[in-house]
Each structure stands twice: as structure tokens, then as C-alpha cells.
Structure 1
């Protein structure tokens, strides 16, 4: 799977860990930065993730900041992105099952590497249920 990956400075370490781990699993990663601990503005990285989904460079996206909240808000400004901030795998699964989320946001200051991997695994391996959820997802594009 082609996965876009972005982070601000607070999420840099977790992004780097996920990039290596996902690459080892055979995924193609579109690395959107940041690439250091130097302070940056998180909206740029949430927007970059959404743009990669909108233009087809990636099928799914993962973005990381300190809490996961800021990058999720930024990503969701783009109507092509349905980004859910998650902190455990059940929410990551429901984001896919019911909301057809194409991105997740993780909080590097809130969860550790193993929980992040569990969230990503749930996100990448869960399919959208469709059915009654389809019309609701379509309505999201109209908001």
C-alpha cells in the first residue's frame, strides 16, 4: 500500500519509527516531512498529508504531532481527507469501518510506539463496511 506519512517536530521520532516499520512490511511510503526536531508549524504537515491523498500520491495517510489533534484538524480542512485522531486500535478500526477514514492522526506525546503500531495495524487492515454508512460518508463531503 502507498502510505503518506507526515509529522511536525513533536511527532518526528514516532514518524521515523513508523516509516522504518512500515517499509519493513513492504509498504511504499511517501515521506512528507518534517525530517528533524527543529520546531515547525503543524498545519503545513496536516495539509501536506491531505494533499497527497487528494492527488493520488497515497492511498492512506498517517500524520503525527504532539497530541494528534492539530494535524487532524489541518488535514480535515481538505474535503478529500477523512482523518481521525486515534489513541487506541478500536477507534482506528471504527474510523475505517464506519467513516471510511483515509488517514489517522497520532499523538506522539500521548501514546507509545507499540500502541501507535497497533493503531496503524488496525487502520490498515480494516475495511469500510459500506451499506448504511456510505450515505453518511457522502454527507461528510457536503459539509
Structure 2
């Protein structure tokens, strides 16, 4: 029997095809839900999956020209909700369901807040600079020309 037509390949292909049917992008990023106040809520899930297959060829004394094959395959999928994205009045926030499990999770969870604070700081400095420039312009316009 040639390797390209081996029954184990057919079992693996069938298993992977079934996993693909169960898990698509809509499973990870869910369909948006609109709340009565106009807030959009998007569920986010974590998917873990695995599969295994194995088998063996058996020789048959009664029919030595034919190989017999015995095998099996299996798969498992775990889908866990991990967070929700909320969009309300132009603000996007991530609400995590599970507590942070590691320092990396905490850092990733802090990124949106840090970005918001940096933007506020930059906008505050820009506003102050614009106010100073406007005040300076006003002073030059009100002073008499020599």
C-alpha cells in the first residue's frame, strides 16, 4: 500500500475537517449584541483543541497479498468565554471575565488603560500649548506698534 493512500490519512483528514466545521472565526469573536442604550457588546472566546490518531497494518496469513489496517482517531474542543469588547459613545473597553493568571495577562489587560492615559496626557499638553500660543498671539495684537 502506498503512503499517500494510507487509511490513517483519511482518518486524520476527516477529524480535521470536523474540527474546522465546529470552530470558525465566529466562535472566537462572537456576533455583536446591541443593548437598549446603544452599547455594542462583542463576546470573545478562547478555543483549545487537539486531536490524535493512530493505527497499525496487520498481515493476514489467509490472504498474504492484502494488508489489513486497524486504527482510530479522536478530537476534543474546549470553548471558554474570556472577555467582552464594549463600544459605547465612541469608547471601546475590554471587560475580562477571568482573573489575570500571569503577569503577561495583567500587562496585556493594562494596555488599553495606559493608551488612554497617554492620549489624555498628550491632548492635555497640546491644549496647554495651544492656549499659551493663543495668549501670546493676543498679547502681540494688543500691544501698540512702534
Q: Which has the higher contact order (CA 8 A, sep 6+)?
A: 1
Hey, which of these two has a bigger chunk of strand by percent? 2
User: TM-score, normalized by length of structure 1?
Assistant: 0.23
Please tell me whether Structure 1 or Structure 2 has the larger radius of gyration of its CA atoms: 2
Hey, which of these two has a bigger chunk of helix by percent? 1
User: TM-score, normalized by length of structure 2?
Assistant: 0.23
